[in-house]
Amino acid sequence: APSRSYLKMAEALEVLKIKGRRDERWLELGAAPGGTCCCLLQHFGRVIGLDPAAMDARVLAHSSFTYLPKTLQKMEAKELQELKIHWISCDVNLNPLQVIKELNRLIDLKVMPLQGLLFTVKMVKLSHVKLVPHYQKLLAKLGFKNIQKYQFPSHRREFLLFADQRS
């Protein structure tokens, strides 16, 4: 795998019991170098990777992978809606509040078939742990039904926020 993020996603999919379907599309925000995408391509029909940085050649060569070489801030809501995304994972090196602001701009659960969001929150300082419940509340305002927090061994100094839309 191109990076440690492969292990992070494999662990999340197993613990959260997310079973991939070939008719589902997954968008990975912060995709480079491609570890998460590599894992997702083993489970889902289409994977779209958004990141301005270089992707691993093995991921780029996969027939079910689409590369969008741009930042989260340059993504348009209409463009996201047209992709008909079922799942989003986000592992970007941005302030979590900035990421949630961008997600708020992009996600409209009324018109998207979105089933869930996996958001990796970097704990730059240990004192940031106390902000995790605040981030959960902000994700709830986006309309997600069930928001849980996890801290897996592979995540080291990161939390995973899982916002689930499945019934």
CB 22 within 8 A of CB 45: yes
Report the pLDDT value the prediction gives residue 32, as an integer from 0 to 100.
Answer: 96
pLDDT number for residue 1: 65
Nearest to 47 by CA among 77, 13, 15: 13
What single string gives the DSSP state of each residue in 28-63? EES-TT-HHHHHHTTT-SEEEEE-SSPPPHHHHT-T
Using 50, 70 and 90 to split pLDDT, how confident is the model at 4? confident
pLDDT of res. 37: 97
| pLDDT > 90 in the chain, percent | 72
Q: Check pLDDT > 90 for residue 97.
A: yes
pTM given for the model: 0.92
For residue 137, give the 3-state DSSP assignment: helix
- Side chain identity, residue 80: L
Q: What is the pLDDT of residues 36-48, one digit of tens each?
A: 999 999 989 899 9
**15: which 2 tokens?**
């613990």
Q: Kindly state the tokens that stand for 89.
A: 């994972």
Query: What are the DSSP E strand ranges found in 62-145?
Result: 65-68, 87-90, 116-122
Question: Coil, strand, or helix at residue 98?
Answer: helix
Position 2 scores a pLDDT of 64
Cβ count near 124 (within 10 Å): 12
Average pLDDT over residues 83-110: 92
pLDDT value at residue 124: 80
Question: Quick check: 44 and 25 in contact, CB under 8 A?
Answer: yes
pLDDT class for 26, splitting at 50, 70, 90? very high
CA 22 to CA 41: how far, in whole Å? 10
pLDDT in tens, 115-159: 999 999 988 888 888 999 999 999 999 888 899 999 877 767 889
* Tokens linked to 10: 């494999």
